[in-house]
Amino acid sequence: MPEEFEAGVTDSPITEANSMGEKTRKNVYEAFVGEAKAHHRLLAFARKADEEEYPQVAKLFRAVAAAEGVHVERHLRLLGEAVVKSTEENLQFSFESETTVNEVYYPRFIGEAEAEGERAAALTFSQARDVEEGHAALYKRALSAMLRDETHDYHVCQVCGYVAEREAPDRCPVCKAERERFRLVT
């Protein structure tokens, strides 16, 4: 299993991950990746079916995506990465994870893509890095807002994943997508 994806597995209190054989752990990780891809691919297929006015097919794609999501969560639990704690602890963990991805992994991904002349990959990695930094800030603010019992909407840029609080901007600050490309999260 790639080193960067082992974070959290060895520190996990879940014994399955700690006692799992090397090949089995690798297979569970690969199954997780495949199921996660399928989950997201099926949601994209459902959106397309909705656009083309095939609501029953869209519903089927969403149902199977939900099933794949169950598989994803089960694999994460086996890997010891789906430990759910209090909301405050989950926010803190999410903040730390986003910060690590932003400061450690994406800079390496960007450098390697640039070294290989892969400009499109370098751009998506750069935008994702910038968005991850924003996600970390959102988690920090959510910790404070949780104590004050504040609520507000979030809008997600469908091009780069930037998350705006309260209302969508006229243009995405990361990828410059127009306001219409933001989706309200309910």
Pair type for strands 154-157 and 163-165: antiparallel
Dihedral pair phi/psi, residue 89, rounded to 5°: -65, -40
Q: Is the pTM of this model over 0.85?
A: no
**Matching residue, tokens 């949780």:** 146
12: pLDDT strictly greater than 60: no
The mean pLDDT value of the chain amounts to 86
Instruction: Give one DSSP letter per residue of 107-171, joined into a string.
Output: HHHHHHHHHTT-HHHHHHHHHHHHHHHHHHHHHHHHHHHHHHT----EEEETTT--EEESS--SB
Interval 18-42 mean pLDDT: 89
**pLDDT tens string 132-161:** 999 999 998 888 888 787 788 999 999 999
Which tokens go with 8? 């959290």
Interval 12-39 mean pLDDT: 79
| pLDDT value, residue 10 | 35
